[in-house]
């Protein structure tokens, strides 16, 4: 049987001398003619992966196969792969013709053939008659087209594009997206595209590879990735989403975000889950008709829709609706069962958010957590005027900054003495797991905690949760 994979990456890892792994165990198969996008935040290893395919970087371990043959150690100039660089990288000392002809000249193509090919590719990118122009006289968009033409004229088996539209303005970018897609369909060349822009990825790709911290998170079609994100990172990165930690409470019943919802995923009762609800899937109803009741706290007009924030207890819902809502109104929220995407939690790490109080101490449920904020936010320091700035020197708005706190279930201790713990609640679920019980404690703040304990407690028991300071992990996420 013929192998239709044009390029395969097998267990590719790239680590640097300081021990940092830019890419870890990357596996991917790309079919001939596919449009594949590497999507992820900056520093996720997508560009490094692209550079390894191009040959500018060599994998520390693993293999890259082109048409079934290893090209892992082949230098870039021997690979039938061409790249469109982020900042175009046109040769400023050559005119447009010489720029485009450069690759063909290296291959000792006859002159008249070069001329013909350059002409053809220039008409493909709609820049006929630009042969004698200088690079510096071109606009950003035109330079981008020349960069694409310069790569395409070599008729590569694979075209790599490293955030090629990053430097263009919005309008130009959208136009180029369609044009690139068009070129891809017309030429049948395999495209591998790198971007941090999820919309770009969804618009153009046949296959998206979502990456984070050097690892592949999910590979799938745009629809798969949007509708069935595999974990919270993917859900959060692709499109807007409301993400909640919750627990299965019955057959196709799930509790999260302060309410109990029907869902379509049949997951065993008592399983910890992460629920993803897209903002457009939440319906605002009259208070009594909603599953969750809350108050509208913010409304932003976005043109095609309103972006509405509803606060329900400790939970915040982001909603997109074509209907307006007034701030301060009491509303109900309803989600159809198929609007809820359930992901089984990979681990049972408890996650909650602590506020920063005026004394720069963390606060949760009215209790202080004795730790230094400047230690949590790396590079931050307090100025003489009492404000807190981060490593870049930007002031951190305490009212809008929350610190993510993580703690493992086995590190929390339950007690009857209500005042000794950080937070109080009732046991709402318990499962025996061989050598310990796994409890779910529904707290007064409508946040569920998972606790492992060897002793047996009863359903409904009211307990207080003691969390040792050294077991808590603090994470600061910079919010826009």
The binding site for other proteins (CB under 8 A) comprises 54-56, 75-77, 81-83, 85-87, 89-93, 102-103, 106-107, 150-151, 154
We find the least distance from the C-beta atom of residue 248 to other proteins, in angstroms, to be 51
Burial class (CB in 10 A: 0-12, 13-18, 19+), 288: exposed
407 within 8 A of 480, measured Cβ to Cβ:
no
Which residue, 93 or 375, is less far from other proteins as judged by CB? 93
In this complex, which beta carbon is closest to other proteins, that of residue 98 or of residue 307?
A: 98
Q: How far is the CB of 48 from other proteins (least distance, A)?
A: 14
Q: Which is nearer to other proteins, 160 or 273 (CB)?
A: 160
Smallest gap from Cβ 130 to other proteins, in A, equals 18
**Interacting residues of 469 by C-beta distance below 8 A, sequence separation 6+:** 369, 370, 371
How are beta strands 5-15 and 21-31 bridged, if at all? antiparallel
Alpha-carbon gap, residue 365 to 424, rounded angstroms:
9
Q: Which residue has the tokens 């090629």?
A: 164
Residue 149, both tokens: 């033409």
CB of 76 to other proteins, least distance (A): 4
Nearest-approach distance from CB 143 to other proteins, in angstroms: 12
- Cβ distance to other proteins smaller for residue 107 or 480: 107
Strand ranges in 302-377 using DSSP code E only, listed in sequence order: 306-312, 315-321, 330-335, 340-344, 350-356, 362-364, 367-369
Residue 461, CA distances (Å) to 1, 121, 156, 248, 441 in order: 63, 74, 67, 20, 9
Q: Work out how close the CB of 12 gets to other proteins at its nearest, in angstroms, rounded to a whole number.
A: 19
- State which residue, 95 or 426, has the beta carbon closest to other proteins: 95
Shortest Cβ 188–other proteins spacing (Å): 21
CB of 155 to other proteins, least distance (A): 12
CB of 81 to other proteins, least distance (A): 8
CA distance 289 to 334: 8
Q: How far apart are CA 289 and CA 271, in angstroms?
A: 27
Give the burial class of 213: count Cβ atoms within 10 A of its Cβ; 0-12 exposed, 13-18 middle, 19 or more buried. Answer: middle
Residue 152 or 180 having the CB closest to other proteins: 152
Question: For residues 164 and 290, which CB has a smaller minimum distance to other proteins in the complex?
Answer: 164
Say if strands 340-344 and 272-277 run parallel, antiparallel, or are unpaired.
antiparallel
DSSP 98-119: HHHHHHHHHTT--HHHHHHHHH
- Tell me whether residue 71 or residue 362 sits nearer to other proteins (CB atom): 71
- Of 92 and 434, the one with the shorter C-beta distance to other proteins is 92
Task: Indicate the burial class of 354 (C-beta count within 10 angstroms; 0-12, 13-18, 19 or more).
Answer: buried
């Amino acid at each position: 049987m013929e192998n239709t994979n044009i390029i395969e990456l097998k267990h590719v890892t790239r680590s640097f001398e300081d021990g940092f792994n830019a890419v870890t165990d990357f596996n991917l198969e790309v079919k001939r003619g596919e449009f594949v996008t590497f999507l992820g935040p900056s520093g996720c290893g997508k560009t490094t992966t692209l550079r390894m395919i191009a040959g500018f970087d060599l994998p520390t371990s693993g293999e890259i196969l082109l048409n079934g043959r290893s090209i892992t150690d082949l230098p870039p100039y021997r690979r039938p792969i061409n790249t469109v660089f982020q900042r175009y990288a046109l040769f400023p000392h050559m005119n447009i013709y010489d720029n485009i002809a450069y690759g063909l000249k290296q291959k000792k193509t006859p002159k008249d053939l070069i001329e013909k090919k350059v002409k053809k590719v220039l008409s493909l990118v709609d820049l006929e008659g630009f042969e004698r122009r200088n690079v510096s006289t071109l606009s950003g968009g035109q330079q981008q087209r020349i960069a694409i033409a310069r790569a395409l004229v070599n008729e590569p088996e694979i075209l790599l594009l490293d955030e090629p539209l990053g430097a263009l303005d919005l309008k130009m970018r959208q136009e180029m997206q369609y044009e690139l897609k068009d070129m891809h369909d017309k030429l049948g060349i395999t495209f591998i595209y790198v971007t941090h822009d999820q919309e770009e990825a969804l618009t153009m790709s046949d296959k998206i590879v979502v990456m984070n911290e050097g690892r592949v998170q999910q590979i799938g079609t745009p629809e798969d990735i949007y509708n069935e994100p595999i974990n919270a990172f993917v859900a959060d990165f692709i499109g807007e989403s409301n993400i909640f930690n919750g627990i299965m409470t019955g057959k196709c019943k799930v509790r999260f975000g302060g309410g109990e919802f029907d869902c379509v995923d049949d997951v065993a009762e008592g399983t910890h889950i992460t629920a993803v609800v897209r903002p457009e899937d939440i319906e605002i109803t009259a208070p009594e008709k909603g599953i969750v009741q809350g108050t509208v706290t913010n409304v932003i007009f976005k043109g095609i829709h309103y972006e509405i924030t509803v606060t329900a207890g400790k939970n915040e819902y982001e909603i997109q609706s074509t209907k307006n809502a007034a701030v301060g109104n009491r509303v109900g929220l309803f989600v159809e069962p198929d609007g809820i995407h359930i992901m089984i939690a990979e681990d049972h790490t408890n996650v909650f958010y602590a506020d920063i109080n005026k004394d720069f101490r963390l606060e949760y449920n009215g209790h202080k957590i004795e730790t230094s904020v400047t230690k949590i936010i790396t590079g931050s320091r307090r100025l003489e005027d009492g404000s807190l700035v981060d490593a870049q020197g930007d002031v951190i708005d305490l009212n809008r900054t929350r610190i993510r706190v993580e703690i493992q279930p086995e590190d929390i201790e339950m007690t009857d003495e209500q005042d000794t713990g950080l937070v109080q609640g009732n046991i709402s679920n318990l499962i025996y797991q061989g050598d310990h019980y796994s409890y779910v404690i529904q707290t007064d703040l409508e946040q569920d905690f998972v606790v492992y304990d060897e002793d047996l407690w009863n359903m409904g028991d009211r307990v207080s949760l003691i969390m040792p300071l050294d077991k808590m992990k603090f994470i600061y996420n910079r919010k826009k």
